[in-house]
Amino acid sequence: MTPRSATIERKTNETEISGTLELDGMGASNVQTGIGFLDHMLDAFARHARFNLELRCKGDLEIDDHHTAEDCGLALGAAIREALGDRVGIERFGSAYAPLDEALARAVVDVSGRPFAAIDLGLTRERLGELSCENIPHVLSSMATAADITLHVDVLRGDNDHHRAEAAFKALALALRTAVRASGFDDVPSTKGTIVGRMADA
């Protein structure tokens, strides 16, 4: 399988994002979004997916955290989509559980070409650090939409919202790591013959 990488670029009136992504990495990351807790989640994601990720974002944090959180999810998802290319020879499906102390999260991924996300983290706090808890599932759904993947993430139990959120990102990382790895077969894992493109009927 040829090296799978992408350049991350997104510029709007609300955010300016740049960086690089390598799917076949060692889990090295350097994330600077201006939101400490978002950095922490994306670092954990890259580490456990074994993706090499560099991401810089300059966002309109003087307004709030929404645009930065959403656009980082969209930019990362678009980079995943680009790095996957034609998606030939990948496993396509992945699922994983990740515990963090009392919290337990489950993630199920289909690298399907069809963007969909069902996210239930059960967070009760208003914020974690400088990141609004309502934006945490939004990061995940934005990533799934831009990556053209189907994603289900559920936190099954947990008392601490930091633990619940982090377990979710780690479970996603493990599931996606499985889904994008080489299957050993040189074909498209679909009866339709393709899993590329938004809303593909794969």
pLDDT digits (tens, 9 = 90+) for 39-79: 999 999 999 999 999 999 999 999 999 999 999 999 999 99
Q: Which pTM was predicted?
A: 0.92
Q: What is the DSSP letter of 171?
A: H
Domain count along the chain? 1
Cα-based angle 71, 77, 83 (whole degrees, multiple of 5): 135
Q: What is the DSSP letter of 60?
A: -
Residue 74 lies in a domain: yes
Residue 195 lies in a domain: no
pLDDT > 70 fraction of the chain, expressed in percent and rounded: 90
Its domain, for residue 110, covers 5-180
Q: Is the distance from CB of 53 to CB of 18 less than 8 angstroms?
A: no
Distance, CA of 198 to CA of 147 (rounded, Å)? 9
Residue 167 lies in a domain: yes
Residue 198 lies in a domain: no
Q: Is the distance from CB of 68 to CB of 59 less than 8 angstroms?
A: yes
Q: How confident is residue 182, by pLDDT bands cut at 50, 70 and 90?
A: confident
Helix H or strand E encompassing 77: helix 66-84
Residue 188 lies in a domain: no
Q: Is the distance from CB of 36 to CB of 89 less than 8 angstroms?
A: no
Q: How confident is residue 201, by pLDDT bands cut at 50, 70 and 90?
A: very low
Distance, CA of 103 to CA of 156 (rounded, Å)? 7
Residue 192 lies in a domain: no
82 CB neighbour count, 10 Å cutoff:
16
- At 42, the amino acid letter reads L
In the chain, DSSP assigns E strands to 5-11, 15-22, 29-32, 52-59, 93-100, 103-110, 116-120, 127-128, 131-132, 150-157
Residue 159 lies in a domain: yes
Q: Which residue has the tokens 């009760």?
A: 124
CATH number of the CATH domain containing 106: 3.30.230.40
Q: What does the pLDDT look like over 145-159, one tens digit per residue?
A: 999 999 999 999 999
Distance, CA of 173 to CA of 143 (rounded, Å)? 12
Residue 190 lies in a domain: no
